[in-house]
Amino acid sequence: MPNGGATERLDAAVAEIMPESLELSHRVHATPEIAFQEHQAAAWTAELLAAHGFDVTAPAGGLDTAFVARWQGRASGPVIAFAGEYDALPEVGHGCGHNLMCSSSAGAAIAAAQALGRDFDGEVRFIGTPAEEAGNGKVHLIRAGLFEDVDVCLQIHPSDTSAAESLCLAVTEIGVTFHGTLAHASADPWLGKNALDAIVLLHTMVAQWRQHLKPGERVHGIITHGGAAPNVVPDRTSGAWYVRTPVDEDLDAMVERFGVMAEAAATATGCTVELAADPVNRCRTMLNNPTLLGIWRRHMATAGIAEDPIDPNAGSTDMANVSHEVPTIHPYLSIAPRGTPGHSHEFARAAGGEGGDRMLPDAIRILAATAIDLIEQPALVDQAWRELRGEGSGRRART
Ligand SMILES: [Zn+2]
């Protein structure tokens, strides 16, 4: 039996951890590290958890900047995990506010642990999850088995709204390289096969395709190499495109259609094309767990935060892949005025400034209160698993 009273002790625990969580948020914000290179952010987050009694295993899951921190109760019970992202964007720094994600999740894990003490059945866990912006770190961590004994996974995302539910698109990246033939662009251009023409054609075809996409589908890309010099017919160009859809099952068809267009662009220009897409390393759509959402909404209301409707303008995240493995929520909490673009300098300023600082204690309190409810009422965890796996099947057997 849990020792009870943890919820009553939570306010004091949140107040106690806030200065250190805030300091972590600011420090990570001031030292942006991109995907797979978050060595300092991971170390600082792990140090904070270790200083508060968590057992840290670092690195974990085969990624240098991933780690796991555990706070175990007296007996086995629900493992409630907080995911913590800390990667930044190239050039924009913390334009996605991940400094607030590692700091809120670590703060919540510590506050929940302090409020629970050791006299409970289960575990509070923090999983440091690198490379959300590029590389899909959580896809690697899932394959490495890091979520196998996790019962619930929680993480907030800073935003310009406070929507409890998040819409996330399935996405995959397609790398494109066209190969042509070099020639002098003025003296003998008829001998050349123009790889720049090929990639421009592909870009144009994608723009025409856009009218015929289903609602919610997105295709967008960049040219990363367009040739070497104006007086040389380019023999190699390259680019990268993302294709996204709100329906997981539609992603393969989009990839196939894109491939047909790339081949057509190559044929039209006498070039050849190489496509690089990893069928495994892709993000899925988000499954917002209803039971977890219910708990989240109750604590959000207690914190006096009005819930915003689900934002139909979606990106993608590897947190969505976790939601297909274990019951998960990934709610938004507002740090910036409505309409502030994500991945922008304005959003980065909010993430390191007043908006982020104001959101952090609310995030910690609501996350920790949600975790405590799940530990104290494991029937809710079972209910969440029935929702994920369909009625009738309970939580999977522990191994
Ligand atoms: Zn993000």
Give the pLDDT score at 391. 64
For residue 237, pLDDT beyond 60:
yes
Pairwise CA distance, residues 81 & 137, whole Å: 16
**Overall average pLDDT of the 362-372 stretch:** 98
Question: For the residues of 240-303, what is the DSSP string, one character each?
Answer: EEEEEESSGGGHHHHHHHHHHHHHHHHHHHT-EEEEE--SSS-B------HHHHHHHHHHHHHT
pLDDT digits (tens, 9 = 90+) for 24-64: 999 999 999 999 999 999 999 999 999 999 999 999 999 99
Give the pLDDT score at 312. 87
Q: What number of other Cβ atoms are within 10 A of residue 376's Cβ?
A: 21
Can you identify the CATH homologous superfamily of domain 6-168+284-389? Zn peptidases (3.40.630.10)
**Overall average pLDDT of the 180-201 stretch:** 98
Q: How far is the CA of 96 from the centre of ligand 1 (A)?
A: 5
For residue 398, pLDDT beyond 70:
no
34 beta partners: 88
390: exposed, middle or buried (Cβ count in 10 Å: 0-12, 13-18, 19+): exposed
Q: How far is the CA of 354 from the centre of ligand 1 (A)?
A: 19
Q: How far is the CA of 184 from the centre of ligand 1 (A)?
A: 45
Q: How far is the CA of 85 from the centre of ligand 1 (A)?
A: 8
**Overall average pLDDT of the 262-290 stretch:** 96
Give the pLDDT score at 394. 54
Q: How far is the CA of 364 from the centre of ligand 1 (A)?
A: 18
Give the pLDDT score at 335. 98
Q: How far is the CA of 97 from the centre of ligand 1 (A)?
A: 7
Q: 170-276: same fold as 6-168+284-389?
A: no
Q: How far is the CA of 278 from the centre of ligand 1 (A)?
A: 21
pLDDT band, very low/low/confident/very high, at 392 (cuts 50, 70, 90): low
* Percent of the chain scoring above 70 in pLDDT: 97
pLDDT digits (tens, 9 = 90+) for 133-155: 999 999 999 999 999 999 999 99
The bridge status of strand 67-72 relative to strand 121-128 is antiparallel
Q: How far is the CA of 315 from the centre of ligand 1 (A)?
A: 9
Q: How far is the CA of 275 from the centre of ligand 1 (A)?
A: 27
Q: How far is the CA of 134 from the centre of ligand 1 (A)?
A: 10
pTM, entire model: 0.92
Q: How far is the CA of 201 from the centre of ligand 1 (A)?
A: 32
Rg (CA), the chain: 23
Pairwise CA distance, residues 203 & 268, whole Å: 14
Contact 107, 25 (CB under 8 A): no
Give the pLDDT score at 5. 83
Q: How far is the CA of 44 from the centre of ligand 1 (A)?
A: 19
pLDDT digits (tens, 9 = 90+) for 281-294: 899 999 999 999 99
For residue 4, pLDDT beyond 80:
no
Give the pLDDT score at 396. 56
For residue 399, pLDDT beyond 50:
no
Quick one: fold of 170-276? Answer: Alpha-Beta Plaits (3.30.70)
Give the pLDDT score at 395. 57
Average pLDDT, the chain: 95
Q: How far is the CA of 18 from the centre of ligand 1 (A)?
A: 22
pLDDT digits (tens, 9 = 90+) for 307-353: 999 988 889 999 999 999 999 999 999 999 999 999 999 999 999 99
pLDDT digits (tens, 9 = 90+) for 217-231: 999 999 999 999 999
Q: How far is the CA of 92 from the centre of ligand 1 (A)?
A: 12
For residue 1, pLDDT beyond 60:
no
Residues with CB under 5 A from ligand 1 (ion): 96
Q: How far is the CA of 348 from the centre of ligand 1 (A)?
A: 11
Give the pLDDT score at 393. 53
- Encoding tokens for residue 191? 């001998």
For the chain, domain boundaries:
6-168+284-389, 170-276
CB neighbour list of residue 349: distance below 8 Å, 6 or more residues apart: none
**Overall average pLDDT of the 258-282 stretch:** 96
